[in-house]
Structure 1
Amino acid sequence: MQAIRLKIYQQTANYRVPVSHEFRESYPLPPYSTVIGMVHYLCNFTKYHPMNISIQGSSNSTTSDFFTRYEFKSGMKFEHSRHQLNAEGFGISRGIGYTQLLVDVNLILHIIPQDQSEIQMIYEGLRHPREYPSIGRREDLAVFESVKIVNVERQKLEDGDYDIQYASYIPQSVIDQNIINLKDSNGGSLKRGTIYELNKDYRLVQTRKGKFERRWNKIPTIYLSNYQILEGKECLFDSDGYPVFI
């Protein structure tokens, strides 16, 4: 099969953890839904195009920044003593919050559309984006250093273990295949990395008359760094030797 591989640089980025509010914590790498949303927007897709995503990357450090936070409660009337904004008689509070920022982010993304005939269309959409791309927040601009169509195939390692250069999101289904060897900086064995259930895509479910909500398809995923693929094991690699985890 074929994939579009993106090499991306971001000076700063926040890939917001959905349950974080006053302090907007970031995932270490963008989740699947964020990358899929970026692809759909830049390719001007108006409906969902099924695709698999492999995400790897690194960042140099983290910092924090302020943001303006607005809070309101449905039906709460405006009160001068507690609200800063009056929205047609309803009260909105305005304050500050904090955002965690990753600094000097480098990403390796593989985009594998289920319909392989869409490869060229997605490639052109990413090679010539309709506006300057961003990943995470609107202001988290993304420099596409490389956009390339690559072949992806399963290969068996014959010449020793393979050291992975970047941290990666690895689906639990890949971990269960026992192809990954974890180790710490002293060479000691580690059982596993950080566990996430990452949003990928969603369907709309009607909850009551005229009301719909998103029901997300969540992928059990392990975030790993400093690890190897074992000799004698099989894994997906692209035509330039980058591993692919889907």
Structure 2
Amino acid sequence: MKAIRLKIEQELVNYKVPTSFQLKETYPLPPYSTVIGMIHNLCGYKEYKPMKISIQGYYHSKVNDLYTRYEFKPGLKYEKGRHQLDINGYGIGKGVATAELLSEVELLIHIVPDNHKLLDEIEQRLKFPKEYPALGRREDLAVIRELKVVEVDWKDKTIQMNLPNSYAAYIPIDLESENKSELKDGGTRYTLNKNYEIVNVGTNKKPKLFRKWVKKEVIYSSQVRVTRKSKVLVDEDQNVLFLA
């Protein structure tokens, strides 16, 4: 099996937690949907191309930053004492809110498309992108330090493994159910978005379309101990993969 390996650096970034509002919280690493979205945008894909992703990395610290926040409700008329902006008779609130930012981020990402014929195409689109890559917010520019197609295979491991450079990784819970590797050390549990389908919860005459997300249960951890007679997925340079 082959994978595209990316080494990315970012200066300041927010990988927004969807349920955070007053404080725009950030995940410690980009969720699968964010990475997949960047790939599809740079490749110009208009429909989802199934793929598996492994995400690990490091950040130096967290800081808080202020940003301008706009609030509005569809159809709500402008009220002088309530709204700061009048847009064609409709009211919009304008204020200040806080966002968490990660500083000096390093990422190691592996991409394995289900259709292996897409490997060369994705590699070329990432190597010569149509616009500057961004991962997170639009302004969170991603500097690609390495882009390489690597061989990936299952290897026998019987000792505790430490990820390189103080990295942590998203480790899918269902790795244990595959009976190939087992997570022994604890970490923080997240439910991350991966991809979505458009579903109609209305009628054919009055459709109401929503995104139904496919979610992945993961452990965010920096240490993994693989049990005896288990296997772990590694690339040709012995980097460990946790594909989801």
Q: TM-score range by the shorter chain?
A: over 0.9
Cα pair 2:54 2:170 within 8 Å, conserved: yes
1:234 and 2:231 are equivalent in the alignment: yes
Amino acid in the other structure paired with 1:181: K
Secondary structure at the counterpart of residue 41 of structure 1: helix
Equivalent residue in structure 2 for 1:197, among 163, 187, 191:
191
Secondary structure at the counterpart of residue 237 of structure 2: coil
Cα pair 1:161 1:231 within 8 Å, conserved: no
Secondary structure at the counterpart of residue 73 of structure 2: coil
Q: Give the 4+ runs in structure 1 shifted more than 6 A.
A: none
Q: Identity rate of aligned residues, in percent?
A: 44
Alignment of 1:1-246 (within 5 A): 1-157=1-157, 160-165=159-164, 166-176=167-177, 177=179, 179-182=182-185, 192-208=186-202, 209-230=206-227, 232-246=229-243
Q: Deviations over 1:129-156 (max 9, x none)?
A: 1111110001111100000001111110
Cα pair 1:162 1:231 within 8 Å, conserved: no
Question: What is the TM-score with the length of structure 1 in the denominator?
Answer: 0.92
Cα deviation for residue 219 of structure 1 reads: 0.6
Cα deviation for residue 79 of structure 1 reads: 0.6
Cα pair 1:179 1:235 within 8 Å, conserved: no
Range with greater deviation from structure 2 (168-177 or 130-139): 168-177
Cα pair 1:163 1:229 within 8 Å, conserved: no
Question: What is the TM-score with the length of structure 2 in the denominator?
Answer: 0.93
Cα pair 1:164 1:228 within 8 Å, conserved: no
Secondary structure at the counterpart of residue 180 of structure 1: coil
Measure, in 1, the Cα distance between the counterparts of 2:51 and 2:192. 15
Secondary structure at the counterpart of residue 174 of structure 2: helix
The two structures, once aligned, show a CA RMSD in angstroms of 1.4
Cα pair 1:162 1:230 within 8 Å, conserved: no
Q: How many equivalent residue pairs?
A: 236
Cα pair 2:132 2:141 within 8 Å, conserved: yes
Measure, in 2, the Cα distance between the counterparts of 1:157 and 1:12. 36
Measure, in 2, the Cα distance between the counterparts of 1:226 and 1:156. 17
Cα pair 2:161 2:223 within 8 Å, conserved: no
Cα deviation for residue 232 of structure 1 reads: 4.0
Cα pair 2:69 2:96 within 8 Å, conserved: yes
Cα deviation for residue 211 of structure 1 reads: 2.3
Amino acid in the other structure paired with 2:239: Y
Cα deviation for residue 172 of structure 1 reads: 0.4
Measure, in 2, the Cα distance between the counterparts of 1:102 and 1:113. 28
Cα deviation for residue 114 of structure 1 reads: 0.1
Cα pair 1:57 1:167 within 8 Å, conserved: yes
1:188 alignment counterpart: none
Structure 2, unaligned stretches of length 5 or more? Answer: none
Cα deviation for residue 175 of structure 1 reads: 4.1
Secondary structure at the counterpart of residue 122 of structure 1: helix
Amino acid in the other structure paired with 2:217: P
Secondary structure at the counterpart of residue 82 of structure 1: coil
Cα pair 2:162 2:222 within 8 Å, conserved: no
